[in-house]
Amino acid sequence: MKRTVLALGATLLAACSTAPQPAEAQPAFKADGKTLRQVYEYLHANPELSFQEKNSSAILAAEMKRLGFTVTTNVGDAWTKARALKEYGKLEEGVGGYGVVAVLKNGDGPTLMIRADMDGLPLVEKTGVAYASKFRDTAWSGEESGVMHACGHDIHMTTWIGTARELVANKSKWKGTLVMIAQPAEEIGLGALAMLEDGLFTRFPKPDHVIALHDNAALPAGHIGIGSGYVMANVDSVDLKVTGVGGHGAYPQETKDPIVTAARIVTTLQTLVSREIDPSDSAVVTVGAFNGGFKHNIIPDDVEMQLTVRSFADTTRDKLLKGIERIARAEALAAGLDPEKSIWMRVKENFTPSLYNNPDLAARVSGVLKTQFPANVLHVATPSMGGEDFSRFGRTADKIPVMLLWLGAVSQAKYDAAQQPGAKPLPSLHSSEFIPDPDPTLAAGVKAMTAAAMELLK
């Protein structure tokens, strides 16, 4: 087992000592006999945080078993798994915690993997719908909060179930091996990694293609966005600390002011994108937190900053990260500080790699969708600086082609109203007010994923 999974296990185990165990599973719910709308409303009202998807994974696993899949899932809980990772370096059962892997063999042919993610976000829901989440729980960080499916993973799970139902009902129309996976912990960038390092591509049939969809808060429900090449960004979180010499604010000449040095670092960092990255490339360096000092007349010893760094190409990512360290050290030197002692930088390990839609795969799926949907609901998706750990499935040594579709989720009425001059913008993903229009969104999602699967399982 690789070091990254062991490090994850150590992190989870540490959290176990400070945070209460996850809330008990909600009252038993079975998807069998339920419409997709009923399944969606239940999942929306009962979200679970990253690595705590006990109830959601059980529902999905049970439905896959009912449909005739061979299912591997976690029969213990994530807290037990954290201890297993720490003590033994491996997971005894399940796939990456609460991950679900369901396999259905239907004769000779290619192997297709379809992925959905399960976790919600620590947000208090403000949508006002009848099935809004009122659930509260404690995250691995130890913070208690409301929990909400503000990124649409409830749509993803429900579409996943609907697609499996359609493919099972139409087994005579395809051949090969279908692998349906439900992934934990996408929101913290660790779930795909946990599943891969727990043997996803070695314990189960290795896919020829991996596909997924993600709902979109800027497209009308029923519309589909398809991108080729880079569609989502490398996402890095960087911690940067500047240590100076503090003192009285009235006598700055006796100090080495870390606030001034850190402020210079912030402004110079902006030249990384504007002057060092090719204008035809894309990159973002944002300082999201700047913390130092606590009183008007005291120059502090330290300033701490938190950065988010976004890019598409790995070469651009490397240039940005090296540039941040170079600029920080140079500004420290310019301020009369010793860069070796005054600059501390850490790139956090839960890095999410950029998502590259395989062009041949995207073209093939796009071609079949053009036969299933009117031209006016199909869109060419532009690259986004958001991150998605689905990218990891295409980043292994096998270089398996992957592709993610965008699924419009906004009610047509709300979308039309938002286009009017002076109108309030639509709520984005991760907003406490984001709510999909379920019926047309689910119908389009199932239709698109089923069509794509049929094409890839010829």
Q: For residues 122 and 247, what is the distance between their CA atoms, to the nearest angstrom?
A: 40
Torsion angle of the four alpha carbons 55, 403, 390, 124, in this order, in degrees rounded to the nearest 10:
-60
Q: How large is the greatest C-alpha to C-alpha distance in the chain, in angstroms?
A: 83
Which one is catalytic: 41, 53, 63, 117? 117
Q: For residues 83 and 89, what is the distance between their CA atoms, to the nearest angstrom?
A: 9
Give yes or no: 187 in active site.
yes
CB–CB of 227/362 below 8 Å?
Answer: yes
| Chain-centroid distance, C-alpha 209 | 20
Tokens of 181: 């996976």
Burial category of 111 from C-beta neighbours within 10 Å (exposed 0-12, middle 13-18, buried 19 and up): buried
At a CB cut-off of 8 Å and minimum separation 6, what does 259 contact? 292, 293, 299, 300, 303
Q: Which of these, 383, 428, 137, lies nearest to 280 by C-alpha position?
A: 383
Q: Which of these, 195, 214, 191, lies nearest to 350 by C-alpha position?
A: 191
CB–CB of 122/409 below 8 Å?
Answer: no
Q: The dihedral of CA 413, 419, 423, 425: what is its sign? A: positive
Which one is catalytic: 41, 125, 187, 389? 187
Q: H-type helices in 248-358, by residue range?
A: 258-276, 314-334, 339-342
Burial 276-291 (b: 16+ CB within 10 A, else e): ebeeeebbbbebeebe
Burial category of 422 from C-beta neighbours within 10 Å (exposed 0-12, middle 13-18, buried 19 and up): exposed
CB–CB of 215/407 below 8 Å?
Answer: yes
343-347 and 176-183 strand pairing: unpaired
Question: What would the DSSP string read from start to end of 134-201?
Answer: --EEE-TTS-EEE-B-TT-HHHHHHHHHHHHHHHHHTGGG--EEEEEEEES-TTTT-HHHHHHHTTHH
CB–CB of 122/405 below 8 Å?
Answer: no
CA angle (17 as vertex; 47, 43 as ends), nearest 5: 5
Helix (H) or strand (E) run with residue 95 in it: none
Q: For residues 221 and 267, what is the distance between their CA atoms, to the nearest angstrom?
A: 41
Residues taking part in catalysis: 117, 187
